[in-house]
């Protein structure tokens, strides 16, 4: 083994530790899937971030969880493929590039389609580089040899393949329907891209005059400007109030158009006046009614939300300006007779925030029902279904699938996968195909592109070479093992991946899907640009290091819950990292020249050694178990407690005894245990804090080139020592009691005291005598007596532990009244415990029905408590007497 630097600076500095480490990993190709046939594959595909900008804390959280799983699996010997990539994010990306153009006083039409797309590609390259550098800072073990982009050739081929196949099966169709129109970005949206918000609006009540009569019919609306497109008034067929009017004509005010009063079951007699204006071109329900009654569809708006020529004198006005005008005019004409406040839900575009307009338009749709049915069916097979973690999200998913609506997939954008449909210039014939038609000069391709999510839905298999089903990666790494994402995109993405995967590969896209929540600010608000409360993960890393950020994210919440960001909590994880650092520093300081080959655990182990190895076993068990269940918080807590409380506070303190002593044999054993425990601990901590653990591990006696490919710790039964655990417990109780009494009488550790330990039997005397050195180190006695029988001085403080009583003769320091008071409290405590246990044991139901193990445990406790109670009582009587 070559000579190496074994010392560490006294302060943990994440910048120094993390610098260059990622390059070392990449150079070693530790993150590249090997394809090794002797290893079992384990696959994760990254949820591709949008190429619109910086990664936020949500990405950091999401990817850290994936990295943690991937790193553990890699160490466990799997051939791990964690595939990186990015999403072209149609609307979002086009919007930012257009915004940039606007700054230059241009728009996309000035450039033209081709030039504009060149600009977007430039933007994409810039941000892809930026995103990769952020992944690097987070320490993500990604296989860059397989990085993908949703608009790569291969992925685009997959998109066309899926489109064509669905079209050929009749599952994709084109038609004129009411869709959600965003007048700002001038594109159609799918239903889930519309966010409904409660808005304080108005409810306008109007009289529509009935032709050839002096009566009117009252109707109400929240969007009075749409009345320009009314082509009927509908009432319920059974409504006694209106039955006689059915078939009569109404003169549409302002417009003067004659429209019919029709009867339709859809109308709710109870709501409003029971009569509804019907605008088939601007309302989905009215559209349906219009179809049933063969009504004319009158579109009154342009694509940008201004009124068109059908609006007559209102032509050119913005829809909201038109509303104001028309309200005024209707009032003047006496048609509009009442306006009331009305709170209702108004749809807004997820991307632009604009009020969405229900709008008649020709678009492409996916006929969802058959696909959804198959996805629902999939969940019925326990071995083939997608396992949601936490389980409850499966219900959310299923509910959506069971109430599925057709998916509008065309978008009036330029950035994205252009729809593979061509229209014959003369015959208007439609051609859908993987390639353009041969006599291309006679055809025109559809101008529109596909919804971004159409390509993301194929991500788990399009990235692996599909539609080539013989592609090696596809055969080996698909289906993937786990997908990690937030609950906010279950519908957008998770659900769509599942039905597309089922349809095209016949399989689930991933075995597990781990759903996490949202990151919020310290007050619990969503982080958003408008609030300006966002925290840049790179700022956190600059301040506290990636390891601290990661550990905070992993341990900050439980699966499915939201996570609040608190700087103080990141700081406290930094403290933990610093603790790990300094404990390792101590270990290294005592390991000069010690090599991995020198580790020898076969010698005589001291109590502390046996105990820490037992605790290590337990920790390995719990960390592995919980990480496998994606319970990173629990796993992290086991690591934290083991390292801080057991390893640092007890083991290291106890190890100082042999390390600072002159028994070379014992020193070597302790060094072995230290080296072994630190090695194993660093490995376990590595998926959580990759940088610091690699740094320390490299300096520890170790074997292998990188901790990233070191073997994951295994429980070693030969190290499990129940007896040592018990003895350690007694020892710790004694030490803590002494500390307590010292605190009570204000006697710091530096002052020596006399310590008398009266053990219950000879075995315990022997046991404690063996551990005498520890007692001396931790209690600092001038005199230490351990015996079964002894003259107990009257003037002494005392305490009881299991199997022994301790006395500290502290003449002059003791306030006897206070000591009696303290012991009485103690007695009360044990009496209470005894009562509780005895009551439990006297309960026949408990003894007969509770598991044996529990009953035995209670019996053992009863014995222990009775003994302690008796000892305290006796002592109290002595003092009083």
Partner RNA sequence: GAUUCCGUAGCUCAGCUGGGAGAGCGCCACCUUGACAGGGUGGAGGUCGUUGGUUCGAGCCCAAUCGGAAUCACCA
Q: Which of residues 699-758 bind RNA (CB under 7 A)?
A: 736, 739-740, 743, 746, 748-750
Q: How near is the Cβ of 356 to RNA at its closest, in Å?
A: 12
Nearer to RNA, 131 or 301 (CB): 301
Nearer to RNA, 602 or 848 (CB): 848
Q: Is 561 in the site for RNA (CB under 7 A)?
A: yes
Of the candidate residues 306, 387, 396, 831, the single one contacting RNA (CB under 7 A): 396
Nearer to RNA, 54 or 579 (CB): 579
Of the candidate residues 270, 662, 664, 718, the single one contacting RNA (CB under 7 A): 270
Nearer to RNA, 505 or 555 (CB): 555
Strands 232-235 and 258-263: parallel
DSSP assignments along 25-64, one per residue: HHHTTTTS----TTS-EEEEE--PPBTTS---HHHHHHHH
The 8-class DSSP code of residue 642 comes to I
Nearer to RNA, 230 or 721 (CB): 230
Of the candidate residues 310, 578, 733, 769, the single one contacting RNA (CB under 7 A): 578
Q: Is 790 in the site for RNA (CB under 7 A)?
A: no
* Partner residues linked to 783 by β-bridges: 754
Would you say the C-alpha torsion 283, 285, 288, 290 has a positive or negative sign? negative
Nearer to RNA, 649 or 766 (CB): 649
Chain positions 175 to 204 lying near RNA, rule: CB under 7 A, are 191-192, 195-196, 198
Do residues 795 and 875 touch, judged by C-beta distance below 8 A? no
Q: Is 789 in the site for RNA (CB under 7 A)?
A: no
Q: How near is the Cβ of 196 to RNA at its closest, in Å?
A: 6
DSSP assignments along 858-869, one per residue: HHHHHHHHHHHH
Nearer to RNA, 325 or 582 (CB): 582
User: To which H or E segment does residue 492 belong?
Assistant: none
Q: Which two tokens stand for residue 439?
A: 């006599």
Task: Tell me the per-residue interface mask from 8 to 27 with RNA, x by CB under 7 A, - otherwise.
Answer: --xx----------------
CA distance readout (Å), 73 to 69, 632, 704: 6, 14, 17
Chain positions 216 to 245 lying near RNA, rule: CB under 7 A, are 219-223
Alpha carbons 629 and 616: distance in angstroms, whole number? 20
Strands 563-564 and 519-520: parallel
Do residues 490 and 47 touch, judged by C-beta distance below 8 A? no
Do residues 199 and 343 touch, judged by C-beta distance below 8 A? yes
Chain positions 363 to 392 lying near RNA, rule: CB under 7 A, are 392
Chain positions 326 to 355 lying near RNA, rule: CB under 7 A, are 344-345
Would you say the C-alpha torsion 755, 756, 760, 765 has a positive or negative sign? positive
Q: How near is the Cβ of 567 to RNA at its closest, in Å?
A: 10
Q: Which residues contact 458 (CB under 8 A, 6 or more apart)?
A: 155, 158, 159, 162, 466, 497, 500, 504
Q: Is 292 in the site for RNA (CB under 7 A)?
A: no
Nearer to RNA, 14 or 49 (CB): 14
Q: How near is the Cβ of 787 to RNA at its closest, in Å?
A: 25
Q: How near is the Cβ of 304 to RNA at its closest, in Å?
A: 23
Site stretch for RNA (CB under 7 A), options 360-368, 393-401, 429-437, 679-687: 393-401
Alpha carbons 587 and 581: distance in angstroms, whole number? 10
CA distance readout (Å), 218 to 214, 272, 449: 13, 9, 44
Site stretch for RNA (CB under 7 A), options 46-54, 68-76, 272-280, 689-697: 272-280
Q: Is 818 in the site for RNA (CB under 7 A)?
A: no
Q: How near is the Cβ of 228 to RNA at its closest, in Å?
A: 14
* Partner residues linked to 203 by β-bridges: 340
Strands 421-424 and 407-408: unpaired
Chain positions 24 to 53 lying near RNA, rule: CB under 7 A, are none
CA distance readout (Å), 560 to 41, 195, 630: 27, 22, 11
Do residues 172 and 364 touch, judged by C-beta distance below 8 A? yes
Q: Is 277 in the site for RNA (CB under 7 A)?
A: yes
Nearer to RNA, 1 or 854 (CB): 854
Chain positions 830 to 869 lying near RNA, rule: CB under 7 A, are 833, 836-837, 840, 843, 845-846, 849-851, 854, 857, 861, 865
Alpha carbons 859 and 287: distance in angstroms, whole number? 76
Site stretch for RNA (CB under 7 A), options 398-406, 445-453, 497-505, 812-820: 398-406
Of the candidate residues 330, 413, 606, 652, the single one contacting RNA (CB under 7 A): 652
Nearer to RNA, 387 or 558 (CB): 558
CA distance readout (Å), 803 to 506, 533, 697, 761, 764: 65, 58, 41, 8, 7
Site stretch for RNA (CB under 7 A), options 30-38, 292-300, 332-340, 631-639: 631-639
Of the candidate residues 446, 633, 733, 879, the single one contacting RNA (CB under 7 A): 633
Q: How near is the Cβ of 543 to RNA at its closest, in Å?
A: 9
Nearer to RNA, 516 or 702 (CB): 516
Of the candidate residues 24, 121, 177, 400, the single one contacting RNA (CB under 7 A): 400
Of the candidate residues 186, 385, 656, 726, the single one contacting RNA (CB under 7 A): 656
Measured distance between the N- and C-terminal CA atoms of the chain, rounded to whole angstroms: 70
- Tokens 């009244």 correspond to 817
Burial letters 829-863, b for 16+ CB under 10 A, else e: ebeebbeebeebeeeeeeeeeeeeeebeebeebbe
User: To which H or E segment does residue 566 belong?
Assistant: none
Q: How near is the Cβ of 566 to RNA at its closest, in Å?
A: 6
Nearer to RNA, 624 or 708 (CB): 624
Total number of residues shown for the chain: 881
Q: How near is the Cβ of 851 to RNA at its closest, in Å?
A: 5
Size of the site for RNA (CB under 7 A): 92
Q: How near is the Cβ of 299 to RNA at its closest, in Å?
A: 17
- Tokens 């009881």 correspond to 800
Chain positions 463 to 492 lying near RNA, rule: CB under 7 A, are 488, 491
Task: Tell me the per-residue interface mask from 247 to 266 with RNA, x by CB under 7 A, - otherwise.
Answer: -------------------x
Q: How near is the Cβ of 654 to RNA at its closest, in Å?
A: 10
Q: Which two tokens stand for residue 488?
A: 């906010």
Torsions phi, psi for 515 (to 5 deg):
-105, 125
Q: How near is the Cβ of 757 to RNA at its closest, in Å?
A: 18
Alpha carbons 533 and 205: distance in angstroms, whole number? 43
Q: Is 632 in the site for RNA (CB under 7 A)?
A: no
Alpha carbons 630 and 880: distance in angstroms, whole number? 58
Of the candidate residues 569, 666, 683, 699, the single one contacting RNA (CB under 7 A): 569
Q: Which residues contact 599 (CB under 8 A, 6 or more apart)?
A: 672, 675, 676, 701
Q: Which residues contact 783 (CB under 8 A, 6 or more apart)?
A: 754, 755
Q: Is 268 in the site for RNA (CB under 7 A)?
A: yes
Q: Is 156 in the site for RNA (CB under 7 A)?
A: no
Q: How near is the Cβ of 220 to RNA at its closest, in Å?
A: 5
Burial letters 731-743, b for 16+ CB under 10 A, else e: bebbbebbeebbe
Q: Is 516 in the site for RNA (CB under 7 A)?
A: no
Nearer to RNA, 284 or 437 (CB): 284
């Amino acid at each position: 083994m070559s000579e190496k630097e074994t010392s560490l600076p006294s302060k943990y500095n994440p910048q120094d530790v993390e610098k260059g480490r990622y390059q070392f990993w990449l150079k070693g190709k530790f993150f590249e899937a090997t394809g090794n046939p002797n290893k079992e594959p384990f696959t994760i595909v990254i949820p591709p971030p949008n190429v619109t900008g910086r990664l936020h804390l949500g990405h950091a959280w999401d990817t850290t969880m994936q990295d943690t799983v991937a790193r553990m699996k890699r160490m466990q010997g799997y051939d791990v493929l964690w595939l990186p990539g990015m999403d072209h994010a149609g609307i979002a990306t086009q919007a930012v590039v257009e915004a940039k153009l606007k700054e230059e006083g241009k728009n996309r039409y000035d450039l033209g389609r081709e030039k504009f797309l060149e600009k977007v590609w430039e933007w994409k390259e810039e941000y892809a580089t930026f995103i990769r550098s952020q992944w690097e800072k987070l320490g993500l073990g990604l296989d860059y040899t397989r990085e993908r982009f949703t608009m790569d050739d291969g992925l685009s081929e997959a998109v066309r393949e899926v489109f064509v196949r669905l079209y050929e099966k009749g599952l994709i169709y084109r038609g004129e329907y009411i869709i959600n129109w965003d007048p700002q970005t001038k594109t159609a949206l799918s239903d889930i891209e519309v966010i409904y918000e409660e808005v304080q609006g108005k409810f306008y009540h109007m009289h529509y005059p009935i032709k050839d009569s002096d009566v009117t019919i009252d109707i109400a609306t929240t969007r009075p400007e749409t009345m320009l497109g009314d082509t009927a008034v509908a009432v319920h067929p059974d409504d006694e109030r209106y039955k006689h009017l059915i078939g009569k004509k109404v003169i549409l005010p302002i417009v003067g158009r004659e429209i019919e009063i029709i009867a339709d079951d859809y109308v709710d007699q109870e709501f409003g006046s029971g009569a509804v204006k019907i605008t088939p071109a601007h309302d989905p329900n009215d559209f349906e009614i219009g179809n049933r009654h063969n009504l004319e569809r009158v579109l009154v708006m342009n694509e940008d939300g201004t009124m068109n020529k059908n609006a007559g004198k209102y032509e050119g006005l913005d829809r909201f300006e038109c509303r104001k005008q028309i309200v005024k005019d209707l009032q003047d004409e006496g048609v509009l007779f009442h306006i009331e406040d009305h709170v209702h839900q108004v749809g807004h575009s997820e991307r632009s925030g604009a009020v969405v307009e229900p709008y008649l338009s020709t678009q492409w749709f996916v006929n969802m029902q058959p696909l959804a049915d198959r996805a629902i069916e999939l969940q019925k097979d326990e071995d083939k279904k997608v396992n949601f973690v936490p389980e409850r999200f499966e219900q959310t998913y299923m509910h959506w699938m069971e109430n599925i609506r057709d998916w509008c997939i065309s978008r009036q954008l330029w950035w994205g996968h252009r729809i593979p449909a061509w229209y014959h210039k003369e015959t208007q014939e439609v051609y859908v195909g993987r390639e353009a038609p041969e006599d291309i000069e006679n055809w025109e391709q559809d101008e529109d592109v596909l919804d971004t999510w159409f390509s993301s839905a194929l991500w788990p298999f399009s990235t692996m070479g599909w539609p080539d089903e013989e592609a090696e990666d596809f055969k080996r790494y698909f289906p993937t093992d786990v997908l990690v994402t937030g609950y906010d995109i279950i519908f957008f993405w998770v659900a769509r991946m599942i039905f597309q995967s089922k349809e095209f590969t016949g399989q689930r896209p991933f075995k597990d899907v781990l759903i996490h929540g949202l990151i919020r600010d310290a007050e619990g608000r969503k982080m958003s640009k408008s609030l300006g409360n966002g925290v840049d993960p790179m700022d956190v890393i600059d301040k506290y290091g990636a390891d601290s950020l990661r550990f905070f994210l992993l341990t900050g919440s439980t699966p499915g819950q939201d996570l609040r960001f608190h700087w103080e909590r990141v700081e406290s994880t930094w403290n933990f990292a610093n603790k790990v650092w300094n404990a390792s520093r101590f270990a290294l300081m005592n390991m000069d020249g010690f090599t991995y080959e020198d580790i020898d655990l076969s010698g005589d182990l001291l109590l502390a050694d046996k105990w820490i190895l037992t605790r290590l076993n337990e920790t390995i068990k719990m960390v592995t178990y919980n990480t496998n269940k994606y319970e990173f918080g629990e796993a992290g807590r086991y690591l934290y407690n083991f390292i801080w409380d057991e390893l640092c506070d007890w083991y290291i303190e106890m190890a100082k005894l042999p390390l600072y002593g002159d028994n070379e044999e014992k020193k070597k054993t302790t060094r072995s245990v230290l080296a072994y425990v630190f090695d194993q601990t660093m490995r376990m901590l590595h998926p959580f804090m990759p940088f610091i653990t690699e740094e320390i591990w490299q300096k520890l006696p170790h074997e292998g080139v990188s901790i990233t490919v070191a073997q994951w710790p295994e429980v070693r039964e030969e190290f499990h020592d129940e007896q040592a655990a018990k003895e350690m417990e007694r020892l710790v109780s004694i030490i803590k009691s002494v500390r307590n009494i010292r605190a009570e009488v204000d006697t710091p550790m530096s002052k020596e005291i006399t310590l008398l330990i009266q053990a219950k039997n000879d075995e315990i005397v022997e046991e404690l005598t063996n551990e005498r050195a520890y007692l001396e180190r931790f209690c600092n006695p001038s005199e230490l007596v351990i015996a079964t029988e002894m003259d107990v001085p009257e003037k002494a403080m005392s305490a009881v532990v299991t199997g022994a009583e301790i006395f500290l003769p502290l003449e002059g320091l003791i306030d006897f009244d206070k000591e009696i008071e303290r012991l009485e409290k103690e007695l009360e405590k044990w009496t209470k415990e005894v009562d509780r246990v005895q009551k439990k044991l006297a309960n026949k139901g408990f003894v007969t029905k509770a598991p044996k193990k529990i009953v035995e445990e209670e019996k053992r406790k009863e014995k222990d408590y009775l003994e302690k109670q008796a000892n305290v009582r006796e002592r109290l009587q002595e003092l009083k007497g």
